[in-house]
Amino acid sequence: MNDMTKRSILIHPDPRLKKVCDPVSDITPELQRLADDMLETMYDAPGIGLAAPQVGVMQRLIVMDCIKEEGAAPEPMVLINPAVTWSSDDVNVYEEGCLSIPEQFGEVERPAEVRVSWLDRDGKAQEREFDGLWATCVQHEIDHLNGKLFIDYLKPMRRQMITRKMQKLKREQARA
């Protein structure tokens, strides 16, 4: 990887977090640079995933590394145009967070296992199954590419409460 730059993460509510992103048509050095910057931004946050719209780029690109154990080797992944090709009937419930909705959490039920196809950082086609936290994370990130946030799975009252807290946070950040 080359020099990496931390990018700013958009905070909900922001219209860019509600839009469907465009497929990537060419894997250019600029796109590879974006992927590297997103990994740097994700590790710095810290987080286990990040989607391009969270840094204001409306393209179908996500990064992930769900290795949480201290001292374990990192497993950075770049997924371009990811698509779920199979989902299990059995489900998992995980208390999710989001770097665009800081310090708010909510239980989300999703398929426990998914098969995903994508292009890697070099444009090579890949397909594999994910389970555990990796499965939760890849679905959360693909949702971002479709303008969907984890709070959209919560009850309307809870979603509204979180949105109001985020509006207040953004007002405070704008004043600082």
The entry of Zn ion, ligand K1U, none near residue 132 (CB within 5 to 8 angstroms by kind) is: none
Residue placing its CB nearer to ligand K1U in the complex, 29 or 56: 56
How many residues lie near ligand K1U (CB under 6 A)?
18
Among 35, 48, 98, 114, binds Zn ion (CB under 5 A): 98
From 1, 12, 66, 74, select the one nearest 34 (Cα to Cα): 1
Among 41, 81, 104, 136, interactor with ligand K1U by CB under 6 A: 136
CB closer to Zn ion out of 31 and 50 = 50
Please, which residue, 98 or 108, has the CB nearer to Zn ion? Answer: 98
The DSSP annotation for 12-61 comes to SS-GGGGSPPBPP----HHHHHHHHHHHHHHHHTT-SEEEGGGGT--BSE
Residue of the chain from 47, 82, 106, 111 that contacts ligand K1U (CB under 6 A): 47
CA distances (Å), origin 80, targets 13, 32, 63, 64, 168: 25, 10, 9, 12, 34
Catalytic residue annotation: 141
Query: Which residue of 137, 142, 145, 166 would you call a contact of ligand K1U, by CB under 6 A?
Result: 137
Neighbours of 20 (CB within 10 A): 11
| Site pattern 96..115 for ligand K1U (x: CB under 6 A) | xxxxx---------------
